[in-house]
């Protein structure tokens, strides 16, 4: 079965995640938003906090994005901002730049759908929160189905996206048949995960971690698989495991960005991170001397304050060479592994020279 279009861009790492606001009118106990985003009216393009349309376009270029997933919070609480950003992306990258948006059924109305249609939205995904928080009654299902039908009048692809709550197979199957009956295109079921903000709540509710290597919740996968195996309708049911999000989607997105932002001396790892060698000097004279050697040998490098940034493998060779030649220069050195994001968050530091080795100065 074919994946929903938005998911195809996501898996290839070609989706720009546009977090349009942290504001939300729901209060899901499993909401994974971090403290710095939850309830805050902030905008992020992938991992980068932004304040303008120019920045979102720049980020889309840097990540070689071919589509956008507009999320939050609840984007419909900032409908004009959502449409303004969406239209700007469509104008810049063309009609084929695929756009999907996540929201809840309660905020859907004709006026907002018209605006989204005019801005070029291709796909909408409704999250029926009530089913998973309080349990839904007939009235809520009616509202959900009516809102989905309304969406179908304006947006080409209409789907539903839900968390896979352990032991809710029956409710989810029941939902799936109702959606199928009215022609909803797909049901996306996400594996439930612990996050920094939900850990205590989920533990208090009796959920357990699946294994030692992930933050996924025990039983969530089984529930999703039960639904996909037992559903006999026509609608696409797509299960999205947390490992797919972390290992493939994020990795591909980082690789795409790394290819565009890596300096000549940096090495891109298989995970899409950047490796760089760094030398730190106590005095400028020593730094200049090493810089001169690097220039003589046509080695790519960059000077930032009292540091030299260079290829990590060249740095290792250089240190060996300096030890052999017994240079008398004081410096420390390490290999730094960073995200290819704006903040260049460091994930690992491998020390090479820690004790300010003294090499004898060249005559
Ligand atoms: S609708 Fe989404 S953003 Fe809002 S509280 Fe629920 S999970 Fe969080």
Cβ proximity of 215 and 209 under 8 Å: yes
First to last CA, the chain: 71
Average pLDDT over residues 307-322: 92
Which residue has the least CA distance to atom 1 on ligand 1? Answer: 26
State residue 135 phi and psi, 5-degree precision. 90, 135
CA angle 45, 51, 52 (to 5 degrees): 90
CA 52 to chain centre: 19
Look at residue 131 in the predicted model and tell me its pLDDT.
95
Cβ proximity of 41 and 50 under 8 Å: no
Tokens representing residue 52 in the block: 């303008």
CA angle 30, 28, 146 (to 5 degrees): 125
> How many Cα atoms occupy the beta-carbon half-sphere of 114 within 13 Å?
3
Look at residue 323 in the predicted model and tell me its pLDDT.
81
Judged against a pLDDT cut of 50, whether residue 363 lies above it is answered with no
Ligand 1 contact via 129 beta carbon (within 6 Å): yes
Q: For the chain, what is the mean pLDDT?
A: 92
Ligand 1 contact via 31 beta carbon (within 6 Å): yes
Element (H, E) at 72: strand 67-72
Ligand 1 atom index nearest CA of 163? 7
CA dist., res. 127 & res. 265, Å (int)? 45
1 confidence band (pLDDT: 50, 70, 90) = low
Q: Measuring CA to CA, how many Å separate 85 from each of 18, 91, 102, 276, 316? A: 9, 10, 15, 35, 46
Ligand 1 contact via 33 beta carbon (within 6 Å): yes
- Strand segments (E) across 260-321: 267-268, 274-281, 301-304, 307-310
321 confidence band (pLDDT: 50, 70, 90) = confident
Which residue has the least CA distance to atom 7 on ligand 1? Answer: 31
CA dist., res. 354 & res. 128, Å (int)? 55
Judged against a pLDDT cut of 50, whether residue 362 lies above it is answered with no
Q: How far is the CA of 208 from the centre of ligand 1 (A)?
A: 21
Cβ proximity of 218 and 208 under 8 Å: yes
Give all domains of the chain, ordered by start, each with its CATH number.
5-259 (3.20.20.70), 265-358 (3.30.70)
27-36 pLDDT tens trace: 999 999 999 9
The residues that bridge with 334 in the sheet, in sequence order, are 278, 351
For the chain, what percent of residues have pLDDT higher than 70? 97
354 confidence band (pLDDT: 50, 70, 90) = low
112-135 pLDDT tens trace: 999 999 999 999 999 999 999 988
> How many Cα atoms occupy the beta-carbon half-sphere of 31 within 13 Å?
21
75-97 pLDDT tens trace: 999 999 999 999 999 999 999 99
Judged against a pLDDT cut of 70, whether residue 98 lies above it is answered with yes
Strand order in the sheet with 157-164: 48-50, 43-45, 15-21, 67-72, 98-103, 123-126, 157-164, 186-191, 236-240
Q: How far is the CA of 85 from the centre of ligand 1 (A)?
A: 21
Residue to mutate, 129, 163, 192, ligand 1, most ligand atoms under 8 Å from C-beta: 129
Judged against a pLDDT cut of 70, whether residue 257 lies above it is answered with yes
361 confidence band (pLDDT: 50, 70, 90) = very low
Cβ neighbours, 10 Å, residue 325: 10
Q: How far is the CA of 117 from the centre of ligand 1 (A)?
A: 23
Look at residue 7 in the predicted model and tell me its pLDDT.
86
């Amino acid at each position: 079965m074919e994946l929903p279009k938005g998911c195809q861009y996501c898996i290839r790492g070609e989706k720009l995640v546009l977090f349009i606001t942290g504001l939300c009118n729901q209060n899901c106990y499993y909401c994974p938003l971090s403290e710095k985003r939850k309830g805050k009216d902030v905008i992020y393009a992938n991992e980068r906090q932004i304040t303008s349309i120019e920045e979102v376009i720049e980020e889309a270029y840097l990540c070689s994005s071919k589509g956008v997933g507009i999320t939050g919070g609840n984007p419909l609480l900032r409908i004009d901002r959502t449409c303004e950003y969406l239209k700007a992306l469509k104008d810049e990258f063309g009609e084929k730049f695929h756009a999907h948006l996540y929201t809840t059924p309660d905020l859907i109305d004709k006026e907002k759908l018209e605006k989204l249609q005019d801005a070029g939205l291709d796909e909408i995904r409704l999250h029926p929160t009530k089913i998973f928080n309080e349990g839904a009654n007939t009235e809520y299902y009616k509202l959900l189905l009516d809102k989905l039908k309304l969406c179908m009048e304006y947006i080409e692809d209409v789907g539903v996206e839900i968390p896979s709550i352990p032991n809710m197979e029956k409710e989810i199957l029941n939902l799936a048949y109702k959606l199928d009956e009215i022609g909803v295109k797909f049901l996306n079921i996400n594996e439930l995960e612990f996050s920094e903000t939900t850990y205590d709540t989920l533990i208090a509710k009796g959920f357990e971690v699946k294994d030692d290597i992930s933050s996924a919740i025990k039983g969530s996968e089984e529930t999703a698989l039960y639904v996909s195996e037992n559903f006999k309708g026509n609608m696409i049911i797509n299960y999205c495991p947390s490992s797919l999000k972390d290992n493939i989607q994020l990795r591909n997105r980082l690789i795409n960005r790394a290819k565009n932002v890596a300096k000549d001396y940096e090495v891109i790892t298989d995970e899409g991170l950047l490796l760089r060698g760094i030398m730190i000097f106590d005095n400028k004279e020593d730094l200049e001397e090493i810089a001169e050697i690097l220039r003589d040998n046509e080695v790519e490098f960059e000077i930032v304050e009292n540091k030299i940034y260079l290829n990590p493998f060249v740095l290792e060779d250089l240190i060996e060479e300096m030890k052999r030649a017994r240079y008398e220069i004081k410096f420390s050195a390490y290999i730094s592994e960073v995200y290819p994001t704006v903040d260049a968050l460091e994930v690992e530091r491998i020390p090479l020279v820690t004790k300010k080795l003294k090499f004898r100065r060249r005559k």
